[in-house]
Amino acid sequence: MSDTAIQLTGVSKRYRLRHGWYVSSIKDEVERLTARLLGRPAPPREEFWALRDITFSLEPGEVLGLIGMNGAGKSTLLKILSKVTVPTTGTFETHGRLGSLIEIGAGFHPDLTGRENIFLNGSIMGMTRHEVQRKFDQIVAFAEVERFIDTPIKFYSSGMQMRLGFAVAAHTDPDVLLVDEILAVGDASFQAKCLNKLAELKSRNKTIILVSHHLANITDHSTKVLWLDRGTVRMVGETDAVVDAYLEHVSRDMKVDDSQHEARDVSGDRPISIADVTLLDGEENPQGRFDRGEKAHIDITYTATHAVPGVVFGVSFHDIHGWEIGGVITDPDSVKVTAAVDRAVLRLTLDPLFFVKGIYMLNVYVVDPATRRYYDLRRRALRLVLDGHRAVSNETTGYVYYPHQWEQLK
């Protein structure tokens, strides 16, 4: 076996922007041609580079996590690696059979039965008929579709189709496996199966390239991470270092929102508004970085123009993609606004902070509990950085390290 599994050298990919069905419109081509004939510089074709000068290599047994914002070129890179498309410049080599869990089940034909589709999909993925025959029972058992194996798959549920697709792909016995967001497929028990399959491939010294928006997936499984930024390699190296840098970058890009009072668009009358929000540590010093288990205060400064009957304040926690992962609100009637308020401060204490290592964004809002109308909402009012250890678990997602005790009872 060669000592590199994948080697990319200066790989770039250019796409021409197309007009309708045509690679370039006839009009453009005529203009280019006449310009050339007249010796003038031809107007450039509209084009963009999805990838520029990508160089990296992987050894057998390595698991590369591929991260980056939407449009960074992750999909294009996977397409090049899986040979679906060729790079415009540069070279790459892979050693051994390449498997892909990118588009599982893409080769299925709805009118064919599960059995027929296993053979079809198996051979599309590069297995011989004999090989599929040998692994047939394993595939069917893995997909849990025994009872429906001779039913056309157009009658399968989408979950069953996914499972069947994954099962075939997972049994191609690849030396290099490309995985894109598959861990979001299926129920918990099927996910566990998928993870075990990945772990098995890893232990057999196979090379895996993993793409996921869930950074927890990346940190759990990767031995190395590559961060793509607008088509170029921004950083490549040790998992934690790259993921931390990426998180830092992404959350800084999402600037803490000082100005945007969304309620203004919703209602003209704003009896209560949030003037200021600050994050303090246990000693009441402004702080944005915490260790897990520390205490944090959030001081919300607000004003009111007149008395308001019902007021509820809330703080919600979000991951860097904006997914809400939890929140707290004040009890009804605990905050009373019986007259105009010039400047009042409400304190929320979080003790202990039990988020796992990562970056979190906090929204702060105040609503009318009767109508649910926002009086004021400040999106991404605060940025909370948690240090310390990541949770050690097989779960693919998760944000909370729950305070707990273990006891050996017997």
Partner 1 sequence: MREVVLNIYRHWDLIRSFARRDIKARYKQTALGIAWSVLQPLSMMVVFTLVFSIFARVPSDGIPYPVFAYSALVFWTFFSNTIGGGTSAMVSNAVLIRKIYFPRETLLIAVMMAGLLDLSVASLLFLGMLAYYKIGLTLTALWVVPLLLLQIALTFGVISLTAAIHVNYRDMGHGLPLVLQLWMFATPVAYPMSVIPAWLRPYYLLNPMAAIIDGYRSAIIVGTTPDLPALGVSVIVTLVVLSLGLTVFKRAAQTFADVI
Cβ nearer to partner 1, comparing 111 with 248: 111
Of residues 310, 315, 318, 312, the one with CA closest to residue 360: 318
For strands 232-237 and 207-211, give the pairing: unpaired
Angle at 327 between CA 306 and CA 280, to 5 degrees: 75
Q: Tell me whether residue 83 or residue 289 sits nearer to partner 1 (CB atom).
A: 83
**123 to 96, 103, 107, 382: CA distances (angstroms):** 17, 15, 10, 52
Q: Which of residues 367-406 bind partner 1 (CB under 8 A)?
A: none
Asked if 86 and 247 count as a contact pair (C-beta separation under 8 A), the reply is: no
- Rounded to the nearest whole angstrom, what is the least distance from the CB of residue 326 to partner 1 in the complex? 37
Cis peptide preceding 60, ω within 30 of 0: no
Nearest distance, CB of residue 84 and partner 1, angstroms: 5
**Closest separation between CB of residue 30 and partner 1, Å?**
16
* Interaction residues for partner 1, span 75-134 (CB under 8 A): 79, 82-86, 100, 102-103, 106-107, 109, 111-112, 116, 119-120, 122-129
328 is an interface residue for partner 1 by CB under 8 A: no
Residues 229-248 that bind partner 1 (CB under 8 A): none
x/- mask, partner 1, residues 11-30, rule CB under 8 A, reads ----x--x--xxx-------
CA dihedral 70, 73, 76, 81 (to 10 degrees): -120
- Least distance CB 80 / partner 1 (angstroms): 10
Site for partner 1 in 185-224 (CB under 8 A): none
User: Looking at beta carbons only, is 123 or 287 nearer to partner 1?
Assistant: 123
How does 154-172 read in b/e, with b if 16+ C-beta sit within 10 Å? eebeeebbbbbbbbbbbbb
Binding stretches for partner 1 (CB under 8 A): 15, 18, 21-23, 79, 82-86, 100, 102-103, 106-107, 109, 111-112, 116, 119-120, 122-129, 152
